[in-house]
Structure 1
Amino acid sequence: MLATSTANKNSFQVTTPSEQEICITRLFNAPRHLVFEAMTRPEHVKRWWGCLSEGYSVPVCEMDLRPGGAWRFVNRFPEGEAAFHGEYKEITPPSRLVYTEIFEQFPDTVSVVTSVFTDEGGKTRVTTTTRYPSKEVRDAVIASGMEEGAGLSYDRLEDLVAQLQR
């Protein structure tokens, strides 16, 4: 993973609790309502999601944040673009978010993402578990560099919540 000076970067962990799951955890120096907001409002998501370095952006960030509502993000990077979309299944602010995720390059591969926001003395631990349709899909996601990208995106999220608290 690339070195950064972002707070709590060492709290970032990626595990594989089952053959079909990846679990990512990270502690953020912000109250959970603010972390939840930063992860569920398009104007905030565009500032951290997939923003790994210069040349990365999120030109499309559509979110209809309600059960049954759709979302779609397009990540632009030096080599091209990648698009993801899904549907919100459960929204319990500021503690839980469940949605489907489809990488548009593989439109028949649906994953289910569950994020839990836990208060830890004014800080927030986000635990995101993604369940893939098979071990092969999970392993392909791991091999794609997902761990480094998620870590850098969460560094940007940490930077954003610090700015939002000022």
Structure 2
Amino acid sequence: MSATGRGAPAQFAATGQKTSARSATADREIVISRVISAPRELVFEAFTQVRHLSRWWGPDGFTTTTRTFEFRVGGAWDFVMHGPDGTDYQEWIAWTEIAAPERIALRHGESRDDPNAFESVLTFASDGTATRIEMHTLFPTKELRDEAVEKYHAVEGGRQTLNNLAEYIAEIVRKEEEGGN
């Protein structure tokens, strides 16, 4: 299982699972969303280039070392997340759909053949001058979802990851406003 397993202010919301009776997969889902004060194209770009991802990806205290990265449908990101306690977590993401700048679908596990890999869909919606990002994650089983939440703190890790993204984006915007890159 991956490291991300994968009080909330108004711009940020997370649920351990959907409460909708309409969803037959609710007990296997995690949905996390956040509003980021930046244009959708910039927020989307932060997910598409390794130079960005390596600066913000993961929960607080984690760092990322990329082995390979190819952002395209069928491409993969092979990387290691280094936990604050020194534990390394082998990670692998394959992109299954890319619709710039609105949507990214992916499969995330420890390796290409991980039977416990989960699927995530990220959506990017303009919200005035900001962007609402939603990460919808679906696990193969309720047990794997519960393990991700309880053992790997997936909801809190997801919140922290999106907070790290927001801080990184704010830094980019600030530098652009100051006239530097």
Task: Say yes or no: TM over 0.5.
Answer: yes
Aligned to 1:133: 140
Q: What residue is the counterpart of 1:5 in the other structure?
A: none
Match 1:79 to one of 65, 83, 86: 86
Q: Tell me the CA shift for residue 79 of structure 1.
A: 3.1
Matched, 1:88 2:95: yes
Secondary structure in structure 2 of the residue aligned to 1:142: helix
Distance in 1 of aligned mates of 2:33 and 2:165:
13
- Aligned 8 A contact 1:24 1:129 in 2: yes
Residues 51, 19 of structure 1: alpha-carbon distance in 2 compared, 3 angstrom cutoff: closer
CA distance in 2 between counterparts of 1:65 and 1:90 reads 10
Once residues 119 and 157 of structure 1 are traced to their aligned partners in structure 2, the CA distance between those partners, rounded to angstroms, is 16
Specify every segment of 5 or more residues in structure 1 that has no aligned partner in the other structure, as ranges: 1-7
Give the match's secondary structure for 2:115: coil
Q: Identify the structure with the greater strand proportion.
A: 1
Q: Which amino acid aligns with 1:37?
A: E
* Paired residue type of 1:86: I
For these two proteins, the number of residue pairs brought into alignment is 156
1:10 CA displacement: 4.4
The structure with the largest alpha-carbon Rg is 2
Structure 2 counterpart of 1:20 = 28
Per the alignment, residue 62 of structure 1 pairs with 68
Distance in 1 between the 2:101 and 2:78 partners? 21
1:40 to 44, 48, 72: 48
Match of 1:3 in 2: none
8 Å Cα contact 2:29/2:137 also seen in 1: yes
Q: 1:158 aligns with which of 166, 171, 181?
A: 166
- CA-CA distance at 1:147 after TM superposition: 2.0
Unaligned runs of 5+ in 2: 1-7, 19-25, 176-181
Q: Distance in 1 between matches of 2:72 and 2:9?
A: 31
Instruction: Compute the TM-score of the two structures, normalised by the length of structure 1.
Output: 0.86
CA RMSD of aligned residues (A): 1.8
Asked if structure 1 preserves the Cα contact closer than 8 Å seen for 2:107 and 2:118, the reply is yes
User: What TM-score, normalized by structure 2, do the two folds share?
Assistant: 0.79
